[in-house]
Amino acid sequence: MKGVAVNPELMRWARLRAHLAIEDLADKFPKLADWERGEVLPTFKQLEGFAKATHVPFGYLFLPEPPHIPMPISDFRTVGNQYVGSVSPELLDTIYAMQRRQAWLRETRMECEAERLAFVGSARLTDDPAAIGREMRRSLGLSNGWAANVRSWQEAVGALRVATEQIGVLAVINGVVGNNTHRRLNVEEFRGFALCDDYAPLTFVNGADAKSAQMFTLAHELAHLWLGAQGSGLSGFPGIFPDGDEIETFCDKAAAEFLVPAAELRECWPEVKRDATPFETLARRFKVSPIVIGRRTMDLRLVDRQSFFDFYEDYTRQERRQKQAASGGNFYNNQNARVGRLFAVQVIRAAKEGRIGFKQAYELTGLNGGAFQEYAQRLGMGLPR
Q: Express as a percent the part of the chain with pLDDT over 90.
A: 40
Identify the bridge partners of residue 337 per DSSP, sorted by sequence position: none
Alpha helices for the chain (secondary structure H): 8-17, 32-37, 44-54, 89-111, 129-140, 153-166, 211-227, 246-259, 262-272, 278-286, 290-299, 305-322, 331-335, 341-352, 358-365, 369-378
Residues 49 and 128 in one domain: no
Mean of pLDDT over the chain: 86
* Per-residue pLDDT at 384: 58
Residues 56 and 199 in one domain: no
Question: Contact, 223 vs 209, CB < 8 A?
Answer: no
Residues 133 and 192 in one domain: yes
Residues 114 and 152 in one domain: yes
Compute the distance between CA of residue 71 and CA of residue 367 in angstroms, rounded to an integer.
26
Instruction: Assess if residue 165 is contained within a domain.
Output: yes
Residues 42 and 146 in one domain: no
Residues 92 and 49 in one domain: no
Identify the bridge partners of residue 174 per DSSP, sorted by sequence position: 206
The separation between CA 3 and the C-alpha centre of its own chain, rounded to angstroms, equals 41
**What average pLDDT does this structure show over 168-191?**
90
* Per-residue pLDDT at 232: 83
Residues 55 and 102 in one domain: no
* Per-residue pLDDT at 204: 96
Question: Contact, 375 vs 367, CB < 8 A?
Answer: yes
3 state DSSP class of 39: coil
Q: φ, ψ for residue 172 (rounded to 5)?
A: -115, 135
**What average pLDDT does this structure show over 118-125?**
95
**What average pLDDT does this structure show over 181-201?**
91
- Nearest Cα neighbor of 69 from 8, 16, 33 is 16
Which of 21, 38, 62 marks a domain boundary?
62
Which of 196, 230, 259 marks a domain boundary?
259
* Per-residue pLDDT at 320: 55
193 pLDDT band, cuts 50/70/90, is very high
Instruction: Assess if residue 284 is contained within a domain.
Output: no
DSSP assigned state of 28: T
Instruction: Assess if residue 299 is contained within a domain.
Output: no
Q: Which domain holds residue 52?
A: 8-62
162 pLDDT band, cuts 50/70/90, is very high
Identify the bridge partners of residue 128 per DSSP, sorted by sequence position: none
**What average pLDDT does this structure show over 125-133?**
96
How many other CB atoms are found less than 10 A from the CB of residue 210? 15
CATH number at residue 15: 1.10.260
Compute the distance between CA of residue 235 and CA of residue 139 in angstroms, rounded to an integer.
23
Residues 82 and 58 in one domain: no
Residues 129 and 36 in one domain: no
Instruction: Assess if residue 346 is contained within a domain.
Output: yes
CA angle 64, 66, 67 (to 5 degrees): 105
* Alpha carbon distances (Å) from 257 to 132, 136, 195, 278: 8, 10, 22, 19
Instruction: Assess if residue 67 is contained within a domain.
Output: no
* Per-residue pLDDT at 80: 46
Residues 242 and 341 in one domain: no
Instruction: Assess if residue 178 is contained within a domain.
Output: yes
* Per-residue pLDDT at 300: 92
* Alpha carbon distances (Å) from 274 to 9, 266, 284: 59, 14, 17
* Alpha carbon distances (Å) from 224 to 4, 119, 123: 47, 11, 9
- Nearest Cα neighbor of 4 from 49, 44, 50 is 44
Give the chain's domain count.
3
The separation between CA 152 and the C-alpha centre of its own chain, rounded to angstroms, equals 21
Residues 145 and 239 in one domain: yes
Number of H helices, E strands in the chain: 16, 8
Instruction: Assess if residue 301 is contained within a domain.
Output: no
Residues 92 and 166 in one domain: yes
Range of weakest confidence among 64-73, 314-323, 376-385: 314-323
The more confidently predicted of residues 346 and 231 is: 346
**Which range, 4-8, 65-69, 193-197, is most confident?**
193-197
Instruction: Assess if residue 356 is contained within a domain.
Output: yes
Which of 259, 280, 301 marks a domain boundary?
259
| 68 pLDDT higher than 70 | yes
* Per-residue pLDDT at 86: 63
| 85 pLDDT higher than 70 | no
